[in-house]
Each structure stands twice: as C-alpha cells, then as structure tokens.
C-alpha cells in the first residue's frame, strides 16, 4: 500500500517538490517519502485519537474542496512540521508545498479507492494498514477483537456495522483503545 501511495505522490510532486528550488534535488526522494509518511501517520493518529469519522468522511468525500476537510488539514499540518524540521524550510515555503501536494494526492487517493475499475488502492488494504494489519480479526488489548469488516462497512455503506445500536466505527475504535 505504501509503495502505491509513494507512486501516487511522485505523480503529483512535480511543481511542489521536484521543480521547487526550496527542496534541493538530492532531497526530492526524501521529501516524497516524508509526504507518504505524513499521510499514513496522520490517518493513523486520527483513528487512534478518536477522529475516525474524519477519516471516514475523507474517503466518502465527493466533490467540493477536499483541502478544507479536517483530515486533509491535519495531514497537511503534520507535513508542514516535517518539512520545517527535516529540510529546514520556512513556514511559508513548507505551507506552499503542503497545500499544493497533500490535497491533490488525497483527492486522487480517494478517487482511486472509490473507482471500481481501479485496483491500485482498495479500502480494505488501507484500513488494514491504518489499524495495524490486514487480518479480519486481529487481537486487541483487553482480549477483544477488532472486526475490520465493521470498519469497512462505515466506508462502503454496507450494513452490519454494529449489532445492537452502538455508534458504529467510533464505538469500535473506542473499544480498541480500551475506552
């Protein structure tokens, strides 16, 4: 999944990273890798901190400006910090790179994930990567199990997200976190 994400970032990195004099050419690959890490880490942090609905909303996003979604803003913020810390960029340069790259990459990721004719990304592998593996029922703290199919149903709109009127994905993630 990460390799596909890095390829997607490379497709969109032209003006933001490759042709940008703020990033030295020898650091282009590292900056692209940092964008990939920022996207994956940002999504993982959102799930871990209970902002799962922001992730669901991102992948269910249709039309409109994806840059203004909470998920994209949070991921962009993390990427800006990384660019400033790891590449010595100023706030303005880092913000410019993040604002031109992250929304474009995430819009493309969402489109590819939702396109039944494009198998380069699928929501099951993405969710598996975000919650720590692709198994159907990985063990979690407290002896319970996280049913990835329940999480996937929140993304795909399929039934069976809960059994008993709970809050769906948020309750599932809270259960995972032991709360």
Element holding 56 (H helix, E strand): helix 52-59
Average pLDDT over residues 110-125: 86
pLDDT, tens digit, 9 for 90 and up, residues 129-171:
888 754 333 333 333 444 445 555 655 555 443 334 444 444 5
Give the pLDDT confidence of 165-175 residue by residue, as tens digits. 444 444 544 45
Element (H, E) at 40: helix 28-48
Please give the structure tokens belonging to residue 153. Answer: 């149903």
Burial class (CB in 10 A: 0-12, 13-18, 19+), 165: exposed
Residue 127: the pLDDT is: 81
* Residue bearing tokens 């990567």: 129
């Amino acid at each position: 999944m990460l390799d596909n994400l890095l390829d997607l970032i490379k497709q969109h990195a032209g003006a933001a990273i490759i042709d940008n004099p703020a990033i030295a050419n020898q650091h282009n690959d590292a900056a692209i890798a940092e964008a990939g890490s920022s996207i994956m880490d940002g999504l993982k942090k959102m799930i871990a901190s209970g902002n799962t609905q922001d992730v669901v909303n991102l992948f269910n996003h249709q039309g409109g400006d994806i840059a203004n979604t909470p998920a994209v803003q949070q991921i962009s913020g993390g990427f800006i910090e990384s660019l400033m810390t790891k590449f010595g960029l100023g706030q303005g340069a880092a913000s410019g790179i993040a604002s031109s790259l992250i929304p474009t990459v995430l819009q493309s990721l969402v489109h590819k994930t939702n396109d039944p004719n494009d198998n380069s990304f699928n929501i099951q592998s993405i969710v598996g990567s975000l919650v720590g593996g692709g198994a159907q029922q990985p063990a979690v703290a407290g002896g319970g199990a996280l049913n990835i199919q329940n999480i996937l149903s929140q993304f795909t709109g399929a039934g069976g997200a809960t059994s008993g009127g709970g809050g769906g994905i948020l309750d599932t993630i809270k259960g995972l976190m032991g709360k």
